[in-house]
Amino acid sequence: MKIKNIADVNKFIETLNKCDGQIELVTSEGDRLNLKSKLCQRMMFTKVFLQAKINKSEVIISNPEDREKLREYLVDK
């Protein structure tokens, strides 16, 4: 799955924090960022979102129930 444009960053982070499993952002370079980590959240939003590279990034969701929580932010490949 890929992340689509996120209008409300705070709401997205709140949603991530409600997820039970691991949520990873895989960059086009192959780096995996744990989106539930506060440090990775700050890095992701300053680097990935502000540089408009989010469309090239894949999201890996380990818990199927978390996919439903994040559905409004995801788009099929």
Structural domains of the chain in order of their starting residue, each with its CATH number: 2-70 (3.30.1340)
Q: Which residue ranges in the chain fall short of pLDDT 70? A: 5, 44-56, 76-77
Predicted pLDDT at 10: 82
Buried b (16+ CB within 10 A) or exposed e, 37-64: eeebbeebeeebbeeeebeebebebeee
Entry pTM:
0.69
- Tell me: the pLDDT tens digits for 58-75? 888 999 999 999 888 887
Rounded to 5 degrees, φ, ψ at 29 are -85, -5
pLDDT at residue 25, as a whole number: 85
Predicted confidence at residue 49, as pLDDT, reads 58
| pLDDT confidence of residue 9 | 78
